[in-house]
């Protein structure tokens, strides 16, 4: 929508406020509640700052928006948590995530008042309930923050909470692809804590999710599972897995514990957003304008090549763990029937308002028609600062000092690391724009 159109709509809203007809308050309310712009339009400055790595201005943008939109408060906390994480404020990031998590629980019940408003005005009248995969990534980022804070017990608590969330979400409309990476990360945390049996269970669930979503599991997952199955005496299961993935060599648990492990995670790009797709039609009999707005999926920046790393003299390719574009698209596909049903219900309600206004005075009917059409906006809210994909490479290393350098951007720094026997080192890289890299 152009600035001109937005201004015109806002001017119309101001004109409506001065009317004294009994219907005017209804129409004004419709206009006020409709908002002059969609969520994405309001957030464009934030997203621009985020993708170019201007974190402080992005945070300021968020603070400005938060005050004016209480229904999206969770979303602002989610976005804020990621900015704070990139600023290495892991504790503050977790506080934002925890706030979002606490606010989310009551929203799992359906609000009668908000449903009524959504059926009369638009879906933006509902308090934002994060989509299923977004609820999972609240835990994922809390886990990564706790690992960065070296607080493994707290990360473990979050893993267990994530399991509860995953189980709840899988009860209806399961999306296997959204489970794979979180399950794998759970296994990593259990391995860090030396809980081999729990790690294997998490890895098993990750493998099942990869298989169900018809995505190739990363080779390091298969190798870890073979090692743990051997270690735990599950030889028959190990033989089946070995045969299925044609693996002949893997590390024994004894050697594994003498080595160090380096897990490099890449949170790549920015998650897809939702755009408004509107259909408008004019009734040839009376000229009444009808409009239905529903959200549609829109991908953003993606990597064209597999992220690679150089660790001292050796180069490594990463594997894709989660394709957030696909997960977001599947989520919207699940939601579309309900969104469409509400949009159709709104057409009926708005038609009634226009009809009664026209009976009162044709000019009022016209104004009512403009107001009802203007208020028809799609809910395009999403956690837009999430990455579009998660990649990983796991490298076993002998004890010693190494230089880690990401090879997927031109301006990246080499990070020196020291690996001791038994270490499990997790390094996370966030790539927001072509050359906007944060190594955490």
Partner 1 sequence: MALGKFRFSIVLISLLSILFLSGCGTVVNRIESEEVVDLSGAWNDTDSRLVSEEMITDALNRPWITDFRSRTGKMPVVIVGDVRNLSHEHINIKTFVNDMERALINSGRVEFVASSTERSQIREERADQDLHARADTRKAMGQEIGADYMLKGTINTIIDQASKKQVRYYQVDLTMISLADNRKVWVGQKKIKKFIKRPTLRY
> What part of residues 14-43 is at the interface with partner 1 (CB under 8 A)?
22-23, 25-26, 29
- Burial label for 164, CB within 10 Å (0-12, 13-18, 19+), is exposed
Of the pair 355, 405, the CB lying nearest partner 1 is at: 355
Asked whether the beta carbons of 407 and 391 are under 8 A apart, the reply is no
Binding mask 335-374 for partner 1 (x = CB under 8 A): --------------x--xx--xx-xx--------------
Binding-site size for partner 1 (CB under 8 A) equals 34
Taking CB under 8 A as the criterion, the residue among 7, 11, 17, 167 binding partner 1 is 167
Is 168 one of the binding residues for partner 1 (CB under 8 A)? yes
Residue indicated by tokens 């259909």: 279
Is 73 one of the binding residues for partner 1 (CB under 8 A)? no
Is 68 one of the binding residues for partner 1 (CB under 8 A)? no
Scanning 34-42, 73-81, 164-172, 279-287 for contacts with partner 1 by CB under 8 A, the matching segment is 164-172
* First CA to last CA distance, the chain: 38
Residue indicated by tokens 């994922």: 140
Of the pair 40, 145, the CB lying nearest partner 1 is at: 145
CA pair distance 119, 347, nearest whole angstrom: 9
> What part of residues 266-305 is at the interface with partner 1 (CB under 8 A)?
none
What's the min distance (Å) between Cβ of 200 and partner 1? 17
**In terms of Cα–Cα distance, which of 323, 320, 305, 312 is closest to 395?**
312
Taking CB under 8 A as the criterion, the residue among 131, 156, 204, 430 binding partner 1 is 156
Scanning 34-42, 156-164, 218-226, 395-403 for contacts with partner 1 by CB under 8 A, the matching segment is 156-164
What's the min distance (Å) between Cβ of 352 and partner 1? 6
What's the min distance (Å) between Cβ of 243 and partner 1? 35
CA pair distance 415, 437, nearest whole angstrom: 13
**In terms of Cα–Cα distance, which of 177, 243, 238, 229 is closest to 208?**
177
What's the min distance (Å) between Cβ of 116 and partner 1? 6
Alpha carbon distances (Å) from 307 to 82, 267, 317, 431: 21, 10, 6, 10
Helix (H) or strand (E) holding 338: helix 324-360
Of the pair 70, 219, the CB lying nearest partner 1 is at: 70
Of the pair 164, 399, the CB lying nearest partner 1 is at: 164
H helices present in 232-323, as ranges = 235-245, 253-258
- Burial label for 102, CB within 10 Å (0-12, 13-18, 19+), is exposed
Asked whether the beta carbons of 102 and 161 are under 8 A apart, the reply is no
Taking CB under 8 A as the criterion, the residue among 92, 157, 232, 339 binding partner 1 is 157
What's the min distance (Å) between Cβ of 371 and partner 1? 12
CA pair distance 273, 268, nearest whole angstrom: 15
Taking CB under 8 A as the criterion, the residue among 15, 56, 116, 314 binding partner 1 is 116
Cβ atoms < 10 Å from Cβ of 202: 22
Taking CB under 8 A as the criterion, the residue among 2, 105, 214, 410 binding partner 1 is 105
Taking CB under 8 A as the criterion, the residue among 3, 110, 243, 411 binding partner 1 is 110
Q: Is the dihedral of CA 200, 206, 209, 215 positive or negative?
A: negative
Taking CB under 8 A as the criterion, the residue among 117, 208, 407, 409 binding partner 1 is 117
Taking CB under 8 A as the criterion, the residue among 3, 4, 67, 112 binding partner 1 is 112
**In terms of Cα–Cα distance, which of 321, 365, 111 is closest to 216?**
321
Q: Which residues bind partner 1 (CB under 8 A)?
A: 22-23, 25-26, 29, 105-106, 108-113, 116-117, 120, 153-154, 156-157, 160-161, 163-164, 167-168, 171, 349, 352-353, 356-357, 359-360
């Amino acid at each position: 929508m152009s600035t001109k159109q937005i201004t015109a709509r806002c001017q119309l809203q101001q004109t409506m406020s001065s009317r004294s007809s009994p219907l005017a308050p209804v129409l004004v309310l419709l206009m006020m509640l409709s908002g002059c712009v969609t969520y994405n339009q309001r957030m464009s400055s934030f997203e621009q700052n985020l993708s170019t790595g201007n974190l402080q201005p992005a945070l300021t943008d968020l603070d400005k928006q938060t005050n004016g939109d209480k229904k999206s408060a969770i979303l602002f906390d989610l976005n804020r948590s990621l900015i704070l994480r990139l600023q290495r404020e892991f504790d503050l990031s977790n506080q934002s995530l925890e706030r979002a998590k606490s606010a989310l629980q009551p929203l799992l019940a359906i609000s009668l008042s908000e449903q009524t408003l959504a059926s009369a005005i638009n879906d933006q009248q509902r308090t934002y309930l994060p989509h299923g995969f977004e609820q999972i990534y609240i835990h994922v980022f809390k886990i990564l923050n706790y690992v960065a804070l070296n607080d493994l017990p707290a990360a473990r608590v979050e893993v267990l909470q994530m399991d509860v969330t995953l189980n709840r979400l899988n009860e209806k409309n399961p999306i296997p692809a959204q489970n794979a990476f979180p399950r794998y990360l759970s296994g990593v945390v259990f391995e860090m804590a030396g809980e081999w049996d729990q790690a294997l269970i998490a890895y098993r669930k990750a493998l099942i999710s990869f298989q169900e979503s018809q995505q190739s599991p990363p080779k390091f997952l298969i190798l870890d599972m073979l090692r743990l199955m051997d270690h735990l005496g599950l030889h028959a299961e190990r033989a089946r897995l070995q045969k299925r993935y044609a693996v002949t060599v893997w590390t024994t648990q004894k050697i594994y514990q003498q080595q160090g492990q380096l897990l490099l995670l890449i949170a790549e790009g920015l998650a897809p957003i939702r755009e408004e797709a509107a259909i408008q039609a004019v009734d040839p009999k009376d000229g009444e304008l009808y409009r239905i707005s529903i959200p549609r999926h829109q991908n953003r920046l993606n990597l064209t090549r597999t992220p690679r790393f150089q660790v001292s003299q050796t180069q490594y390719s990463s594997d894709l763990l989660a394709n957030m574009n696909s997960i977001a698209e599947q989520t919207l596909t699940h939601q579309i029937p309900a969104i469409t049903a509400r949009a159709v219900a709104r057409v009926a309600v708005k038609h009634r308002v226009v009809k009664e206004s026209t009976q009162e005075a044709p000019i009022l009917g016209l104004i009512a028609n403009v107001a009802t059409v203007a208020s028809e906006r799609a809910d395009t809210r999403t956690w837009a600062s999430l990455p579009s994909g998660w990649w990983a490479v796991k490298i076993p290393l002998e004890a010693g000092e190494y230089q880690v350098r990401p090879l997927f951007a031109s301006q990246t720094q080499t990070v020196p690391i020291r690996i001791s026997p038994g270490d499990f080192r997790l390094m996370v890289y966030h790539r927001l724009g072509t050359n906007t890299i944060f190594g955490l």
